[in-house]
Structures are given as structure tokens and as C-alpha cells.
Amino acid sequence: MSSPSTPAPRPPVIELTGVERSFGQVHALAGLDLSVPENRITVLLGPNGAGKTTAIRMITGALEPHAGTVRTFGLDPSRDGEEVRLRCGVVSAKPALYDRLSALDNLAYAAELYGLGRGPGVQDELRAAAARFGIDHALDQRVGGFSTGMKTRLALARSILHRPDLLLFDEPTSGLDPESSHAVLEMIREMTDDGRTVVMCTHLLLEAEGLADRVVVMEDGRDLVAGTPDELTRRYWPGTVVAVAAEDPASLDLAPNLPGVTRVERTADPRRRHLHLVGEDRVADVVTAMVRAGVRVTRVEPLEASLEDLYFAVRTKKAIADDGGRQLSTDGDRSADDATTDRHRQVATLTGWPDGRGRPRGATAPEEVRS
């Protein structure tokens, strides 16, 4: 009996290929490739000016590319913009709301623009959307008196009135206090429960941490890397790294000679070392060997890559590639205005940025692996 055939993978909701867009002499997008899977949260992560907002405007057809192709739901937003936008909900960093109208009137006006009409059924929908984002108690108040957080919640409620398939959030927590930011991010996380696809732009690493199903790191209008957090960890993180501390720092000097240790890295704390191991299964063996050798171990901490570490690793490797490795140099030939910090160099070294000899420039050769 033949096994059922594997269903064909679903096409991406958004596909940008080699997209370029300039404003005068400024290249906002310079060959951007972007693929957004269905029913996932994709985070566009990058500094201000990376091209995140321009990319969002391309997706909806608000801007046309000067080169490359844009497909949203398989459609060309330049030709089928109205159809695309009816399936999108957008929240900008500074949402445009009518301050002199009540929150309910703002929602009612948006509902008419979406073609939902009027009537008791529509009013129920408006109040349900407001309740979902915790502003149903303020529907009769003028929006001009709302806090920034309340305005963001209203904009989020407005964005889902027409039950869009795709939600585009551009810096949705801009100007919010930490508590409001956390609440908004939790609401965004819930969006995919309804089968929606979410694209969110941010330059804040903590926002993307734990929220993103897929991360796209952008800089200067280009995509540097894209993938799930796990994929990026496997690609840019060096494997098993353990922080070990001891009462006598000198006793840690034996670590390079232990079986399974590939490299030992000094840290800012003289009592600690980062041990690079051949695998997670060697942690217990290495610690046991150190104790038997008389090392009074005070701390053992496996190091796992955060999104912040991955972000710096990616951007640092690009910066090093752009200048041929000068920014990893330790011989004093860096300029005073070098934008690469010691943390950047540390992360790049930790992730094994190679020179022609397969190791970070200026770094000593790692110890041989002892099995």
C-alpha cells in the first residue's frame, strides 16, 4: 500500500527579489531579498536607516521598486495594490489617528473604508476588536487625550477590523513604556494563533528575542542573513562553549590540555575562562578532569547564543569582511573612529571569523582537539 504523498510546501506570503529603491542619492533598498512564510512572525531587524520601513511600503504597493520584483500573496502590488491592501493590516511607528474623534468613531471610519459598512453587527465587531486590545473602556473618549500606549492599542484594533491575512507592524512599540511594550508584543504573538502572518520591524533586540519565528537582519538596504533563530545559531555560533570560574585563576591554565577542549578564551573576569568543547556531551568529563587535577571550580555555565549575540556576530562579520579584517587587528592599526567595539571583536572571535589561515586575525592558533 503506497504511503500518502507529502503535501507541497505552501508558497511564501511575501517574496522580494533583488529589490532596489532610491530617494535621490540615498539607496534605501539595494538588492533586498526577502521571503516571508505563512502563519509565522518574521522580524526585520536592523538599525535605523536599514530600509525596514521602505520594505514594508513595497509589500503593500505604497512604493514601487526601481528594480527587482515584489510579490505579496503571489500578486504584484504595483498592479494589484488594492487587492493586496485589502488583505493587509498595517500599524506604523506613528499611527495616523483622528484626535478630535472618539476611539469608536476612529474605528467606525476605518470600517467604512474597508467596506464593512455600518449597523449593529459592525458595531459589535468594533467593540470586540477594542476589547481584544484592552481599550473597550475608552471607546467614547477623544483620541487626543490618549497616551501613546492607548493610541498604539487603538491602531492595533483598527488593523484587524477587516480580518486581514497579513499584518505589518513597523516599530509598534515606539515611544511606549516597558509595561505597555510587553503587553503589545504579547498581543502580536497571539496574532498567528488566528492563522495570520506577521511581519514586524524593529531595531530593538529584546523585542525580537523570543517573538520571532524567523529573523531577517538588514543593513544599508540589504539582507545580511535570514533564518529561524535556531538556524542562525547553528550557522554563526561556535558550538559548545562553557564559562568556567575557579578560586585560583592560574589553575585554569591546564584547560587547553584537557581531552575535548578545542580552545580556551580569556574573559574580562580573570577568574573565568570560556572553554570551547567538541560537544555538549564532554562538559561533565571536562569538569571532572579539572576537579581531579585540583582545580577548585566555583562556577560552570553553558553559554547559549542570544539574539543579541547573533546580531552582533552577523553585523561584525560583515564589517570585517568590508575592510578585509582590519577591525579584528590587535596591533594598534585601527583608527580612532573605528565603529567596531571590543564587544564586536570578542563576538566575532568567539564565532570563529577566519583569516586565510582559518582563525581570527591577530588570534593565536587554537589547541589541537584531544579526543
Q: Residue 280 falls within a domain, yes or no?
A: yes
Tell me which residue has cell 584531544.
370
| Same-domain pairing of 116 and 167 | yes
Residue 88 and residue 167 in contact, taking contact as beta carbons nearer than 8 Å: yes
- Strands 41-45 and 67-72 turn out to be unpaired
Total domains present in the chain: 2
Q: Residue 339 falls within a domain, yes or no?
A: no
Question: Could you give the CA distance from residue 166 to residue 89 in angstroms, rounded to a whole number?
Answer: 6
| Whether residue 335 has pLDDT greater than 60 | no
Residue pLDDT, tens place only, 204-216: 887 788 788 999 9
pLDDT > 70: what percent of the chain? 83
| Whether residue 137 has pLDDT greater than 90 | yes
| Same-domain pairing of 248 and 133 | no
Closest of 137, 135, 124 to residue 97, by C-alpha: 135
- The DSSP symbol for 347 reads H
Instruction: Sort 90 into a burial class: Cβ within 10 Å, 0-12 / 13-18 / 19+.
Output: buried
DSSP 259-320: TTEEEEEE-SSTTEEEEEES-GGGHHHHHHHHHHTT--EEEEEEE---HHHHHHHHHHHHHH
- pLDDT value of residue 306: 77
Task: Please indicate whether residue 105 or residue 257 has the higher confidence score (pLDDT).
Answer: 105
What domain range includes position 56? 14-228
Residue pLDDT, tens place only, 183-234: 888 888 888 877 889 999 988 887 788 788 999 999 899 998 898 888 887 7
Among residues 249, 270, 301, the one where a domain terminates is 301
3-state secondary structure of 12: coil
Q: Residue 354 falls within a domain, yes or no?
A: no
- pLDDT value of residue 366: 33
Q: Residue 82 falls within a domain, yes or no?
A: yes
Among residues 301, 320, 344, the one where a domain terminates is 301
| Whether residue 277 has pLDDT greater than 60 | yes
| Whether residue 371 has pLDDT greater than 50 | no
**Whole-number mean pLDDT of the chain?**
81
Mean pLDDT score, 233-237:
75
Tell me which residue has cell 564559562.
243
| Same-domain pairing of 160 and 282 | no
- pLDDT value of residue 17: 95
Amino acid identity, residue 107? L
Residue pLDDT, tens place only, 81-107: 999 999 999 998 888 899 999 999 999
- pLDDT value of residue 74: 94
Cα 105 to chain center, whole Å?
A: 35
Number of H helices, E strands in the chain: 11, 13
Residue pLDDT, tens place only, 290-331: 898 888 888 988 887 777 777 777 777 666 555 544 444 444
| Whether residue 243 has pLDDT greater than 50 | yes
Tell me which residue has cell 516571508.
36
How many CA atoms lie less than 13 Å away from 92 in the CB half-sphere? Answer: 10
| Same-domain pairing of 222 and 248 | no
The CATH number of the domain holding residue 127 is: 3.40.50.300
